[in-house]
């Protein structure tokens, strides 16, 4: 074992990334590089969205009833015909599930930048050497097996020996593979040495992942390709120069398509299309196993990814903001109601590059009389939902959708010019919409397609009710008085954040449709005090008791709630990707960027538990928009990172309800939460909490094949000079002791360069004293002296992940907790949402 050399960690990985970045044949440098489509003369019109209704059985079969689709869209597109409505949502759903917008280039690059840890070609495979295959993908990985495919029992000759799923001949061909109707982008070897295929790629057997011929797979690469060694020989596949025959692209559906809660598959490993919905979010998605195919627990990156509970993902994973903040993947319900509350409380100002976002009233397809036109006023005012949990992407619904595609690799040739992926290390600059429109055909094609996607979500994103699920009635209360009391408790305690139907007086507290520019924190404080009054509660009870209360109710206010009130983990609302001058600068409003500080938050030392006050920064950070409670019964565990409650993997109604019961109980009785850390709340009361720590000794490793050529040549010599750094077959930095708070290392603020360098030099001095074969206890003893210096340069010094949201409990300040009977009455009502 080698001593931890944190100072060398960043240097080694920075050098590695420089070495792994290939030259781009389509230009170099921010603002100058073009995407692969434009590079070979393909324009956006040649990448049009498909209108094939292949997924007709999904989403309750919505596209099979054009008249119903037209009825749902008529309020937004007056005069729309059933055929127009059906065609629009079909194109939108195809965009969601099979359109990858050229992002296979990104994921191929990340397979190198991650030094081989992420390899989607292995994720797709069925080779016996792997820990997963089509037989157990759902249970082990949490990805959805695509209907109409069978497990490969051997290497496929038509896929260069890869063990990929095989299309079931009874289903006919995948219509999106039609290379005549959807001709692939011919660039490099693609279209010459290897077929170009379709711009939708080939089906893979996993929903949301598509296979594309690799433009770099030329004659030399083909001669060097050995599929058996690719699966079995680390000396072969752990090589930055290995060119694989295919790249893998990712659609939005990869992280959003999931089993229909009200119509779950009998076998979750083998769903039918009718068992799948486009909108519930990947609630069962194991990021650590998907993004690290070998799931090596002795790897520190695996330990880091393991902090993402199933269904949670750090959306700043690639464009790192130096904060580990895994967040649940948003379900999409009642989008029309969400737009309605945005028109009342979502007014924001745009400036700079944010003004370049497309708006509904800039589209020819939206009639002049459409309500969609009210969401933008010239020259700079938008009325917007806030999709990200920190409320950052506040530039309008279409802008929020387009940002998602960039985050999964749309025009990655430009995106990657603005930061170093995964670890950072250089100043981050904004991705500019203006540049994308000039240099990316995929961007322009995507902007053309996202309005149809918005219409699809407006028409299809309806609640999944427990009452409609098989056996669901047995879980619902038949006690009318209990349900009536549950409605009253919800009105008194929950509705102020979790209802888009509110007393009219609510909007007086947020003048100018949101009070975002002028004193938002004071406006919110005034509203919060009123929500505690008998006047509010009385009016809210009347609303909740209406028979149509749940109809077209988003069950959220979309307001930004200060984390000081929520007391939840602060790392998500402290994300910096959206502040001025950062990567998402063009996708956040000027109003967001000017939000005041949310105040002072009490955080605790991760080792001693000592509380201290942390002053939250301003410029948009420090707030969380309330989650929607639509179909709450189906989405446990809870909190913004899925840390409260037991996780059940099957997706069955019984398992969803078991998870719901456990999770909601721990939400309302915080003393029942798990953990060995004593959480101190604002009320002074304590409860158990969890700090994510390494479960065993771990290392940062770089195989020899991923080292720069100059270091490979000197590896033997360097191993003699630096035996603590060079292990068998590459660089090994460690051990990081068992029990180390993971975010103590992952949240080092690299923008504080001088302070960080000082800390790292101190770390090097302390750790150098460790013996060559240091035990875990010896490493812990030395590492203990580094905790406080590392804490001083930590970008989010809030470590407890399952704290907060004490509403209705005795842990709230200035509010009396609910009785047990009232809590059970509330739970009975929540099951009906």
Q: Residue 5 pLDDT more than 90?
A: no
Q: What is the per-residue pLDDT for 713?
A: 47
Whether the pTM exceeds 0.75: the reply is yes
Token code pair at residue 17:
């990334």
Nearest to 661 by CA among 641, 636, 680, 640: 636
Q: What band does 331 get if pLDDT is binned at 50, 70 and 90?
A: confident
Question: pLDDT tens across 671-682, in order?
Answer: 999 999 999 999
The runs of H, that is alpha helices, within 334-476 are 335-345, 397-407, 412-415, 433-439, 441-460
Q: Say what percent of the chain tops pLDDT 90.
A: 81
Does residue 24 lie in a domain region? no
Same domain, 609 and 545: yes
Q: What is the largest CA-CA distance in the chain?
A: 79
- Domain's final residue, options 308, 338, 362: 308
Which residue has tokens 């938008």?
Answer: 382
Shared-domain flag, residues 696 and 675: no
Q: Look at residue 72 and tell me if it is in a domain.
A: no
Listed in sequence order, the residues at least 6 apart from 26 whose beta carbon sits closer than 8 Å to its beta carbon are 33, 34, 35, 36, 38, 39, 413
In this structure, the answer to whether residues 357 and 481 fall within a common structural domain is: yes
Same domain for 678 and 737? no
* Residue pair 280/331 in contact by the 8 Å Cβ criterion: yes
Domain boundary, last residue among 284, 308, 332: 308
Confirm whether 433 is domain-assigned: yes
Q: Nearest Cα to 48, choosing from 110, 105, 108, 99?
A: 99
Q: What was the pLDDT predicted at 763?
A: 67
Provide the token pair at 363.
């589209």
3-state secondary structure of 190: strand
- For the chain, the average pLDDT equals 91
CA–CA separation, 143 and 290 (whole Å): 9
Q: What is the per-residue pLDDT for 729?
A: 54
Average pLDDT over residues 512-533: 94
| pLDDT band at residue 122 using 50, 70 and 90 as cut-offs | very high
Greater model confidence, 799 or 771: 799
Are the C-beta atoms of residues 403 and 397 closer than 8 Å to each other?
Answer: no
- Quote the tokens at residue 156: 């496929």
Strand stretches in 19-171, DSSP E: 149-150, 166-167
Range of the domain at 142: 31-49+99-308
Q: What is the pLDDT of residues 54-89, one digit of tens each?
A: 999 999 999 999 999 999 999 999 999 999 999 999
Q: If pLDDT is split at 50, 70 and 90, which confidence band does 21 have? A: very low
What is the percent of the chain with per-residue pLDDT over 70, rounded to a whole number? 92
Q: For residue 697, how many other CB atoms are within 10 A of its CB?
A: 21
As a whole number of Å, the end-to-end CA separation of the chain is: 54
What pLDDT sits at residue 200? Answer: 98
The mean pLDDT value for 35-43 works out to: 98
pLDDT band of residue 704 (cuts 50, 70, 90) is low
* 401 and 350 within one domain: yes
Q: Using one digit for the tens of pLDDT, what is the confidence trace for 386-421? A: 989 999 989 999 999 999 999 999 999 999 999 988
pLDDT of residue 781: 84
Q: Residues 263-280: pLDDT tens digits?
A: 999 999 999 999 999 998
Question: Beta partners for 246?
Answer: 213
Check residue 710 and give its pLDDT: 46
Residues 679 and 734 in one domain: no
Q: What is the H or E stretch that residue 387 is in?
A: none
248 lies in the same domain as 334: no
383 in the same domain as 497 = yes
d(CA 309, CA 643): 7
Residue 43 covered by a domain? yes
With respect to residue 598, please indicate whether it lies within any of the assigned structural domains.
Answer: yes
For residue 279, tell me if it sits in a domain: yes
343 and 222 inside one domain: no
111 contact partners, CB below 8 Å, separation of at least 6: 118, 119, 120
Residue 146 has pLDDT above 50, yes or no: yes
Answer whether residue 435 shows pLDDT above 90.
yes
Please name the residue that has the structure tokens 């990814």.
305
Tokens 């904004």 belong to which residue? 430
Q: Answer for the pair 592, 578: CB distance below 8 angstroms, yes or no.
A: yes
- Of 308, 342, 366, the last residue of a domain is 308
The predicted-structure confidence for 206-216, as pLDDT tens digits, reads as follows 999 999 999 99
Our CA angle for 338, 804, 316, nearest 5°, is 60
pLDDT tens digit string along 544-582?
A: 999 999 999 999 999 999 999 999 999 999 999 999 999
Structural domain count of the chain: 3
How big is the chain by its Cα radius of gyration, in Å?
26
The verdict on residue 62 lying in a domain is no
List, in sequence order, every beta strand (DSSP E) within 574-727.
600-604, 611-615, 623-624, 677-680, 686-689, 698-703, 726-727
Instruction: Indicate whether 236 pLDDT > 50.
Output: yes
For the cut 70, the answer to whether the pLDDT of residue 722 exceeds it is: no
- What per-residue confidence (pLDDT) applies to 767? 61
The verdict on 829 and 756 lying in the same domain is: no
pLDDT above 50 for 6: no
More confident site: 676 or 14:
676
The distance of Cα 793 from the centroid of its chain, to the nearest Å, equals 26
Name the nearest CA neighbour of 326 among 642, 772, 543.
642
Quick one: how far is CA 31 from the chain centroid?
A: 27
> Alpha-carbon distance 622 to 617, whole Å?
7
125 plus 241 within the same structural domain: yes
Same domain membership, residue 431 and residue 387:
yes
Element (H, E) at 768: none
DSSP state of 411: T
Give residue 777's pLDDT: 87
In a domain, 89, yes or no: no
């Amino acid at each position: 074992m080698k001593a931890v050399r944190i100072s060398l960690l960043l240097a080694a990985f920075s050098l590695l990334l420089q070495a792994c970045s290939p030259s781009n044949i389509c230009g170099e440098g921010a603002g100058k590089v073009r995407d692969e489509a434009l590079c070979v003369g393909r324009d956006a019109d040649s990448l049009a969205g498909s209108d094939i209704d292949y997924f007709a059985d999904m989403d309750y079969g919505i596209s099979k009833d054009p008249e119903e689709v037209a009825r749902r869209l008529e309020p937004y597109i007056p005069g729309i015909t059933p055929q127009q409505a059906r065609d629009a949502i079909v194109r939108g759903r195809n965009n969601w599930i099979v359109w990858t917008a050229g992002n296979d280039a990104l994921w191929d690059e990340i397979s190198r930048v991650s030094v081989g840890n992420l390899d989607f070609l292995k994720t797709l495979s069925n080779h016996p050497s792997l820990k997963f295959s089509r037989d157990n993908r759902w249970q082990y990985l949490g990805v959805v097996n695509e209907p109409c495919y069978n497990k490969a029992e051997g290497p496929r000759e038509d896929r260069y020996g890869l063990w990929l799923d095989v299309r079931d001949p009874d289903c006919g061909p995948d219509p999106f593979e039609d290379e005549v109707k959807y001709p692939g982008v011919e660039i490099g070897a693609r279209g010459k040495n290897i077929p170009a295929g379709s711009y939708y790629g080939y089906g893979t057997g996993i929903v949301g992942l598509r296979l594309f011929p690799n433009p770099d797979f030329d004659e030399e690469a083909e001669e060097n390709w050995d599929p058996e060694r690719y699966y079995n020989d680390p000396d072969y596949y752990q090589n930055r120069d290995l060119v694989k025959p295919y790249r893998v692209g990712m659609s939005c559906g990869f992280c959003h398509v999931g089993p229909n809660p009200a119509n779950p598959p009998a076998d979750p490993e083998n769903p039918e299309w009718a068992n799948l919905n486009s909108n519930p979010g990947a609630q069962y998605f194991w990021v650590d196993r998907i993004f690290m195919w070998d799931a090596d627990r002795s790897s520190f990156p695996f330990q880091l990814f393991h902090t993402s509970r199933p269904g949670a993902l750090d959306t700043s994973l690639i464009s790192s903001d130096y904060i580990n903040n895994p967040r649940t993947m948003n379900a999409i319900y009642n989008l029309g109601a969400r737009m309605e509350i945005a028109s009342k409380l979502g007014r924001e100002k745009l400036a700079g590059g944010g003004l370049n976002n497309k708006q509904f009233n800039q589209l020819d397809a939206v009639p002049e009389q459409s309500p969609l036109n009210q969401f933008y006023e010239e020259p700079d005012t938008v009325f917007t939902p806030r999709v990200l949990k920190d409320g950052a992407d506040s530039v309008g619904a279409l802008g929020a959708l387009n940002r998602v595609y960039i985050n999964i690799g749309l025009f990655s040739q430009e995106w990657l010019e603005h930061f170093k992926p995964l670890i950072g290390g250089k100043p981050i600059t904004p991705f500019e919409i203006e540049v994308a429109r000039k240099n990316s055909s995929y961007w322009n094609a995507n902007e053309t397609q996202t309005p149809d996607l918005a219409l699809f979500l407006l028409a299809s994103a309806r609640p999944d009710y427990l009452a409609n699920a098989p056996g669901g009635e047995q879980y619902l209360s038949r006690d009318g008085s209990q349900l009536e009391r549950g409605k009253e408790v919800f009105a008194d305690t929950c509705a102020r954040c979790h209802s888009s139907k509110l007393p009219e007086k609510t909007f007086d507290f947020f003048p100018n449709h949101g009070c975002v520019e002028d004193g938002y924190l004071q406006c919110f404080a005034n509203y919060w005090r009123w929500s505690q009054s008998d006047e509010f509660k009385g009016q809210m009870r009347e609303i909740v008791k209406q028979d149509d209360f749940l109809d077209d109710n988003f069950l959220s206010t979309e307001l930004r709630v200060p984390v000081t009130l929520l007391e939840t983990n602060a790392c998500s609302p402290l994300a910096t990707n959206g502040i001025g001058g950062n990567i998402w600068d063009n996708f956040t409003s000027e109003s967001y960027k000017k939000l005041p500080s949310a105040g002072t938050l009490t955080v605790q030392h991760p080792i001693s538990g000592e509380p201290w006050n942390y002053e939250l920064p301003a410029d948009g950070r420090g707030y969380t928009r309330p989650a929607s409670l639509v179909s709450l019964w189906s989405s446990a565990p809870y909190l913004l990172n899925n840390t409260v409650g037991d996780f059940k993997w099957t997706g069955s109604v019984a398992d969803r309800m078991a998870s719901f019961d456990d999770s909601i109980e721990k939400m309302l009785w915080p003393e029942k939460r798990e953990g060995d850390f004593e959480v101190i709340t604002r009320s002074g009361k304590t409860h158990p909490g969890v700090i994510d720590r390494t479960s065993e000794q771990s290392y940062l490793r770089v195989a020899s094949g991923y080292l720069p050529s100059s270091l490979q040549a000197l590896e033997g010599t360097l191993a003699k000079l630096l035996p603590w750094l060079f292990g068998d077959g590459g660089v090994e930095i460690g051990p990081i002791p068992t029990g180390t708070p993971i975010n103590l290392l992952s949240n080092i603020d690299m923008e504080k360069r001088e302070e960080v360098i000082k800390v790292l030099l101190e770390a090097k001095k302390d750790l150098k004293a460790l013996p060559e074969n240091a035990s875990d206890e010896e490493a812990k003893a030395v590492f203990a002296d580094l905790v406080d210096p590392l804490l001083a340069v930590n970008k989010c010094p809030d470590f407890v992940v399952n704290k907060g949201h004490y509403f209705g409990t005795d842990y709230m300040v200035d509010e009396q907790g609910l009785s047990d009977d009232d809590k059970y009455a509330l739970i009975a009502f929540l099951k009906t949402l």
